[in-house]
Amino acid sequence: MVLFYFFVFSVAVTIYIVYYLLSKNHDYWKKRKVPHLKPSLLFGNYKETILLKKHQTQVAYDICKQFPGKIKGMFHLVKNCANQLECLIREKMEISPNIDAKQLLAMFTIDIITSCAFGINCNSMNKNADMTSNPFLAVRERIIDTSKSAGVKLYCRQMWPQIFYGLGFSLFDKNIYYFFRNILAGVFESREGKPSTTNDFVDLILTWKKNKVITGVSLSNEKTGAKKELTMDVDDDLLISQCVAIFGAGFETTATTLSFLLYEMAKNQDAQTKLIEEVDSYFEKNETIEYECVNELPYIAACIDETLRLYPVLGLLTREVMDDYTFPTGLRLKKGDRIHVPIYHIHRNPDYFPEPEVFRPERFYGDAKKDIKPFTFFPFGEGPRICLGK
């Protein structure tokens, strides 16, 4: 009898161990709050591959299709704004052949960012919309304040940040802060304070608000190889400043780049013809514009890259040295030193880009792109603080 119980016990323990070993990693994605398919016990997510019914590539493709990326999931919003822009341009052209492209593109990018980031349909491109009363356009004017006093403030902050903040100054006008505080309050209320399924920027910050802290990995890990985590308390100031950052960093950069692209297209008829031909051939194969088009329009991509080379919106980046560092040449930098990375200058260096003043998208087209030396073209910055919009 004892032997029988021992046998049953051993079988149970063996089953448990096998079950444990087979399923111990099944909560891998769940623990990290990453959308996933529930794995089956024996085969995980690759049952059809293991049973030799489908190739692994196809199974992975099918899984990925069920989880479109965030940007892809929001593409319909971008498309909607693009359609509105097209209608608006047509209407404006009927009235006058001269249109203020920069203003139109600012409205276009504002609409995209407000709908993708804040879930708000600002409708600034609706022909009945009163542009003068669009609050986002008014905020834009305040953010890109080009007055002399704003310039003095900007450089004082850059040169003496401790004194600047110590005296209670802030870079942006307080009204910008109040504006985004109200926007956020409205959006939070409409979502009843809980993250929705929209998966947009507001959802992200609602999750931070709920968790009360943000946890991230320390930048020093890159050097030490450690897994140090840092946490930050979440308060309204932090949430609002993130909104100002995403709005400020996203719209003007994009609108300016698009304006320069149009300017270069107007000056370079050959490039313009080639670009139009590429678009026409895309529409011969596809009825509407879809997210995947970004891979099917390499000449447009090359024109955008060439525009960003000639007119990098942030032509000078500042970095503060975190630890003493000696270059292979012997040049020593001390912790706390601030250095300027002259992107505009690097992009126009003839050693890297022959005849640098000439708009030549072919530099970024096809195989020629491979000849570009690393770190000679970085309009979106580089490293851990690289542009979020890239």
Provide the mask over 96-115, with x wherever binding to ligand HEM is found by CB under 6 A and - wherever it is not. Answer: -----------------x--
Which of residues 39 and 107 has its CB atom nearest to ligand HEM in the complex? 107
Which of residues 39 and 250 has its CB atom nearest to ligand HEM in the complex? 250
3-state class percentages of the chain: helix first, strand second, coil last, to nearest 5: 60, 5, 35
Using CA atoms, how far residue 334 sits from 158, 325, 338, 351, in Å, is: 18, 7, 9, 30
What is the Cα–Cα distance from 138 to 133, expressed in whole angstroms?
Answer: 8
Contact between 59 and ligand HEM (CB under 6 A)? no
How many residues lie near ligand HEM (CB under 6 A)?
A: 19
Provide the mask over 304-333, with x wherever binding to ligand HEM is found by CB under 6 A and - wherever it is not. Answer: ----x----xx--x----------------
Provide the mask over 213-252, with x wherever binding to ligand HEM is found by CB under 6 A and - wherever it is not. Answer: --------------------------------xx--xx--
176-203 b/e (C-beta count within 10 Å ≥ 16 → b): bbebbeebbeebbeeeeeebeeeebbbb
Contact between 253 and ligand HEM (CB under 6 A)? yes
Options 98-106, 134-142, 154-162, 382-390: segment touching ligand HEM (CB under 6 A) = 382-390
Options 7-15, 83-91, 253-261, 330-338: segment touching ligand HEM (CB under 6 A) = 253-261
> Which of 39, 119, 361, 379 is the binder for ligand HEM (CB under 6 A)?
379
Using CA atoms, how far residue 358 sits from 51, 78, 352, 383, in Å, is: 57, 31, 13, 28
Give SS3 for 338.
strand
List phi, psi (to 5°) of 233. Answer: -70, 145
Residues 187-216 that bind ligand HEM (CB under 6 A): none
In the chain, DSSP assigns E strands to 213-217, 229-233, 317-320, 325-326, 332-333, 338-341
Provide the mask over 60-89, with x wherever binding to ligand HEM is found by CB under 6 A and - wherever it is not. Answer: ------------------------------
Contact between 389 and ligand HEM (CB under 6 A)? yes
Question: What torsion, rounded to 10 degrees, do the Cα atoms 148, 152, 155, 159 define?
Answer: 170
Which of residues 39 and 264 has its CB atom nearest to ligand HEM in the complex? 264
Determine if residue 387 is labeled as part of a ligand binding site. yes
Closest residue to bound ligand HEM by CB: 389
Nearest to 136 by CA among 244, 60, 45: 244
> Which of 73, 195, 298, 381 is the binder for ligand HEM (CB under 6 A)?
381
Instruction: Quote the least distance from Cβ 63 to ligand HEM, whole Å.
Output: 27
**Diameter of the chain measured on Cα atoms:** 99
Provide the token pair at 380: 């979106």
Which of residues 134 and 242 has its CB atom nearest to ligand HEM in the complex? 242
Which of residues 298 and 381 has its CB atom nearest to ligand HEM in the complex? 381
What is the Cα–Cα distance from 16 to 21, expressed in whole angstroms?
Answer: 9
Instruction: Quote the least distance from Cβ 28 to ligand HEM, whole Å.
Output: 27
Are 42 and 22 in contact by the 8 Å Cβ rule? The answer is: yes
Instruction: Quote the least distance from Cβ 343 to ligand HEM, whole Å.
Output: 7
**Interface ranges with ligand HEM (CB under 6 A):** 113, 245-246, 249-250, 253-254, 257, 308, 313-314, 317, 379-381, 385, 387-389
